[in-house]
Structure 1
Amino acid sequence: LAPRGVAYVKQGDGWEKTVKPWPDTIDQWTHFLHDAGNNAVARDTQVGPPRSLQWVAPPLWLRSHETPSGIEGLVSGGGRVFYFFDEGIVGITDQRLPERWSLVCRDAFNGKLLWKRPVEPWGWTEWARDRFEGKDWTTIRGGRTVVPNENQRRLVVEDDRLYATLGFLAPLAILDAATGEVLVTVEGTEPVRETLASDGVVLVYSRDPLAQTAKRRGDADAGPSTLTAVGGDSGKVLWKQEARPINSLMLAVDGGRVVYQSGRKLTCLKLTDGQPLWEVEGPKGRGRTLIACDGVVLLYVGNTLEARDAGTGERLWRQEKVPSSAGGEGPDLFVTGG
């Protein structure tokens, strides 16, 4: 019997119901990088080297290895797995065959399909039309990574609520995680770029995905960036404010604080009301990873790794010339064991 599974045992003339509790040894993976603090380390003592497959769900292949990936944003919570998936025809690389994206929910222990709902518009036509439209797709190579990093941050699960966007330029939707029913649509949050949830508050970063390109082209009306905090159950807006454009995946929440990097500025706000707590200037270079964990903010920029006190912004230590990743490897940073 899986955790939270129910068994009925015949006892005399009646039936005795037993619900298997969720063990403390199995963690939840509620965000793209585990939790709202971006530390991709599970607090799980049952995990170990894989020895067999628990279950397999079709299809066994994606549409192509060379065009944008057909699976995005996988998270898990409450014994369920959620992900965006392209259910278009497999194995035929041709732009004339449209993608067919869905938000899918499966039982995490046996793979049984629990529900799915369409997600549209979504796909390369929304974020990479210039690169792929009208091209000879038989000659495309390495296009599987041509997907906005923030797409992985469009799904968050917390308890019995799923926070998602049901279209590329859509607002935040709050769904019943068990049924997929949309309970609340939070108007005014579109277009969502990233979503984080912590302590019953959902933080939404909104900006037109094409705004950065427009700004490079000198378009003054490139669109504002906003941070919005809403109640996790009600969807009621707690606070909303304009923000400078946030570097990709450089937004985190931990200990009631919102921390993000914009350019070289590292800013900290109070989660409950958005009031500024501190702002400092970080290292020069391209932002790679930001982690907020156990009262410390770790900032990996260029080849510099810096630690700051999450309460004050004071620099604790700094390491120069950190070895950088090569090839297609991502700049990973993990905190474990203190």
Structure 2
Amino acid sequence: MKTMINRFSATSLIILMTALVIDAQDWPQWRGTNRDGKVTGFDYPKAWPEQLTQAWKVTVGLGDATPALVKDKIYVYSKVGENEVMQCIDAATGKQLWQSAAYPAPAVTGPAASHPGPRSSVAVAEGKAVAVGVGGDIACFDAATGMLLWRNEEYKGQVPQFFTGMSPVISSGICYAHLGGPKTGTFIAFDLASGSIKWKVEGEAPPYGSPVLMTVDGTKQVVFQGQTKLVSFNLADGKQLWELETPVGTGRVNNAASPVADGNRIYYTGLNNGVNAAEIKKTGNSFTVSKLWTNPEFTTA
């Protein structure tokens, strides 16, 4: 029997992060520091309490994204009223430290209408907090004050069926994102300080997974999960290094899970596609990718 993996509520994640990760390392982006879901530096108790004691409770807007935690500050991007806003909350007290300027939230229609808030998790690095709206716009705020540093609306309104769900990733002053609609998309590298585009490549339409970073034999790269394939680019110049077909099963296209990188291996899954592993090798200046195994017993919903 296949095991189905579903998304769960952002509200419960706020409680868990406050209770469990506050004394551990930062959690600055989707799935943590290395985007692999691992927490280090957390000294777990010898005996777990039968129930947790609520330290504080705060109301935030609508959304399905996880918050970011950096230096005892929680960053949340959500829909408040008819707008999308960034909020910064003191992790120890629950006090709101600042709220950004508000930007009109697009109407979420079709089968996604019951979830009108942002799906993309905030990425915090180098004193900046980057958020992607449900409609495909991307904005960067000063992490200390909430002041808007730059905003790009070039891809606003170009969204997949269930609207934008990709969470950006930041590395060495560059923010990487995959934006676009149901038929075509663009892989983009934004300068974190100015918002200028360092490079962009048009091609595979975005599903709902998020990019990950990996290094293979000294070559740093960013890997995106597209609708039907994984695609890797050189971090610096956007040169495509390799790609791997990842076809989904029958019905809607829904590669919603983010890939996981571990050394020179990449693990990925998609709708009715099981869990898969591939290995990337470098020979000279070229890369080859080969599928290692698949487990059809696990898939995503």
For residues 261 and 70 of structure 1, the distance between their equivalents in structure 2, rounded to whole angstroms, comes to 22
Residue identity in the other structure for 1:172 = I
Residue 201 of structure 1 pairs with residue 165 of structure 2: no
Structure 1 pair 244/80, CA: closer, same or farther in 2 (3 Å)?
same
Corresponding residue for 1:336? none
Corresponding residue for 1:287? 255
Corresponding residue for 1:248? 208
Structure 1 pair 254/47, CA: closer, same or farther in 2 (3 Å)?
farther
TM-score, normalised to structure 1, is: 0.63
SS in 2 for 1:109: coil
Q: CA deviation at 1:109?
A: 2.3
SS in 2 for 1:126: coil
- 5 Å-filtered alignment, 1:223-302, equals 224-255=184-215, 256-282=220-246, 284-285=248-249, 286-289=254-257, 290-301=259-270, 302=272
Structure 1 pair 184/147, CA: closer, same or farther in 2 (3 Å)?
closer
- Give yes or no for contact 2:280–2:290 (8 Å, CA) kept in 1: no
Structure 1 pair 73/189, CA: closer, same or farther in 2 (3 Å)?
farther
Q: CA deviation at 1:320?
A: 3.0
Structure 1 pair 288/154, CA: closer, same or farther in 2 (3 Å)?
closer
1:173-192 Cα distance to aligned partner (Å, 9 max, x none): 22110110112334646468
- Give yes or no for contact 1:189–1:204 (8 Å, CA) kept in 2: no
Residue 182 of structure 1 pairs with residue 175 of structure 2: no
Deviates more, 1:106-115 or 1:39-48: 39-48
For residues 288 and 100 of structure 1, the distance between their equivalents in structure 2, rounded to whole angstroms, comes to 25
SS in 2 for 1:152: coil
Q: CA deviation at 1:157?
A: 0.7
1:80-126 Cα distance to aligned partner (Å, 9 max, x none): 101134555xxxxxxxxxx465321011222221101243322xx61
Which of 283, 297, 301 aligns to 1:322? It is 297
Q: CA deviation at 1:319?
A: 2.6
- Give yes or no for contact 1:71–1:86 (8 Å, CA) kept in 2: no
Corresponding residue for 1:56? 56
SS in 1 for 2:107: helix
For residues 226 and 68 of structure 2, the distance between their equivalents in structure 1, rounded to whole angstroms, comes to 26
SS in 1 for 2:199: strand
Larger of the two Rg values belongs to structure: 1
Corresponding residue for 1:113? 96
For residues 82 and 277 of structure 1, the distance between their equivalents in structure 2, rounded to whole angstroms, comes to 34
Structure 1 pair 282/173, CA: closer, same or farther in 2 (3 Å)?
closer
For residues 84 and 109 of structure 1, the distance between their equivalents in structure 2, rounded to whole angstroms, comes to 19
SS in 2 for 1:287: coil
TM-score, normalised to structure 2, is: 0.70
For residues 298 and 131 of structure 1, the distance between their equivalents in structure 2, rounded to whole angstroms, comes to 28
Which of 306, 311, 327 aligns to 2:276? It is 306
Which of 29, 32, 35 aligns to 1:31? It is 29
Structure 1 pair 230/317, CA: closer, same or farther in 2 (3 Å)?
same
In structure 1, list runs of 5 or more residues that go unmatched. Answer: 1-24, 64-68, 89-98, 133-142, 216-223, 325-329, 332-338
Corresponding residue for 1:81? 74
